[in-house]
Amino acid sequence: MPFLSAALDRVKPSATIAVTDKARELKAAGRNVIGLGAGEPDFDTPANIKLAAMHAIEGGKTKYTAVDGIPELKEAIIAKFQRENGLTYKPNQVIVGTGGKQVLYNALMATINPGDEVIIPAPYWVSYPEMVALAGGESVPVVCTAEHGFKLQPEALEKAITPKTKWIILNSPSNPTGAAYTRAELKAITDVLVKHPQVWVMTDDMYEHLVYDDFTFYSPAQLEPQLYERTLTVNGVSKAYCMTGWRIGFAGGPEPLIKAMAMIQSQSTSNPTAVAQWAAVEALDGPKDFIPKHNKIFKERRDLCVSMLNQANGIRCPKPEGAFYVYPSCSGTMGKVAPTGKKLATDEDFVTELLEAEGVAVVQGTPFGQGPAFRISYATATTAVEEACARIQRFCGNLK
Ligand SMILES: Cc1ncc(COP(=O)(O)O)c(C=O)c1O
């Protein structure tokens, strides 16, 4: 439609939301559907956090706030970065946004000029390349294979860097693979980045707390202080604190960048919801005992998925270090025929036929930058995860 902006030609709708919508439609039509598409914890927001929001409402803390966040939340964020990541920021080096998503978007909008390149290790969160495209930049995906644990190799990074590279987006633990970089693996990456001063680091640490088997998380600027001056450390309360709907994300970074991001935000959405900011103060400053409890359950589900999926014909499922996703390959099912008579040629065929035959909603891997594969979010009841994996086994077993 000529009325619409040409910028729309550069972006695609989110594949994860498309699958969730389709599963919802089938459910509404009475089908027994297990949705493993959505990337949000099934646990409720902890009671103390809800209570802080109620107190904020009762106390009339319901007006506009500073665009980049209330001072109390900035202080809680500064304390979090110091305590958990050994990173020191001042209030003018911190911004609060409407979810991690807005923070990432602000950063790209504030920095990208036409032709600027952004290195994105693949598989990647679907929104990164779309945001880069909207900002007018070029994304440079770098394939990270299952053999390398879906992690960027230093040689591949070195090859991808050009004089036009502006950013690299790192995301550990990763959506969609769950892969998380060990200290040594991350150091190998930061060693390359130190040599290229034009490259800034956007690290999306959203899943920092969701790691299993005694894995220790490191953020790039923490590991390599030489990168501090050109790193934007992005985080939020959505995942670990079960606060996806509250829409609070934040970042720490160099003051001029943060100021530019706040400028974009001031002319678009202004402050994130006041009440949600007060809830986030409680999340960051309050008790965290629910996190290990949730992680114990997430780990059980991860192990269940990995074990059951590896018993499905044609599926290979690596065991990731964190997040609440697994990213199995379905290459062994390509060319086989589904019960509808459809020959599986792509991972989209695989997920469509799986949803049709067994009522299990997963997301095809291709939009994440690597297929044929699919993403399972196991942030849903353990019994549902188990039943879904059994159905996937049956679906694969029935392929001809
Ligand atoms: C890797 C990654 N980054 C950022 C986000 C956005 O988080 P928020 O809900 O805080 O905007 C998500 C949410 O799915 C994510 O998976």
For the stretch 86-139, pLDDT in tens is: 999 999 999 999 999 999 999 999 999 999 999 999 999 999 999 999 999 999
- Where the chain has pLDDT below 70, the residues are 15-16
CB 96 within 8 A of CB 274: no
Question: Using CA atoms, how far apart are residues 184 and 261, in angstroms rounded to an integer?
Answer: 32
The pick from 19, 174, 238 for probing ligand 1's pocket by mutation, whose C-beta has the most ligand atoms within 8 angstroms, reads: 238
Provide φ and ψ at 279, rounded to 5°: -65, -40
Q: Which residues are within 8 A (CB) of 147 and not within 5 positions of it... i.e. 6 or more apart?
A: none
- How far apart are the C-alpha atoms of 181 and 346, rounded to whole Å? 29
Please count the CA atoms within 13 angstroms of the CA of 67 that sit on its side-chain side: 17
Output the CA 48–ligand 1 centroid distance in Å: 23
For residues 374 and 393, give the distance between their C-alpha atoms in angstroms, rounded to a whole number: 14
What spacing in Å lies between the alpha carbon of 343 and ligand 1's midpoint? 34
β-bridge mates for residue 236, sequence order: 249
Q: Which amino acid is at 241?
A: Y
Q: How does DSSP assign 152-190, residue by residue? A: --HHHHHHH--TTEEEEEEESS-TTT-----HHHHHHHH
pLDDT number for residue 16: 65
Q: Identify the residue whose C-alpha is closest to ligand 1 atom 13.
A: 39
Lining ligand 1 with CB less than 6 A are 39, 99-101, 125, 171, 175, 204, 206, 236, 238, 244, 249
Name the token pair of 118.
């952004």
Question: Helices marked H in the chain — which ranges?
Answer: 15-28, 47-58, 71-85, 99-111, 127-134, 154-160, 183-194, 220-223, 255-266, 274-285, 290-309, 347-358, 382-398
* Centre of ligand 1 from the C-alpha of residue 238, in Å: 7
Cα-based distances in Å from 399 to 214, 312, 395: 38, 11, 7
Give strand pairing partners of 250.
96, 235
**Cβ proximity of 238 and 100 under 8 Å:** yes
Which of 239, 246, 327, 368 for mutating ligand 1's site (highest number of atoms within 8 Å of CB)? 239
**16 CA closest ligand 1 atom index:** 14
**CA 139 distance to own-chain centroid:** 17
Question: Which of 127, 132, 265 has most ligand 1 atoms within 8 Å of CB, for mutation?
Answer: 127
Q: How far apart are CA 144 and CA 242, in angstroms?
A: 29
pLDDT digits (tens, 9 = 90+) for 251-297: 999 999 999 999 999 999 999 999 999 999 999 999 999 999 999 99
Q: Whose CA is nearest to atom 1 of ligand 1?
A: 175
Per-residue model confidence (pLDDT) at position 308: 98
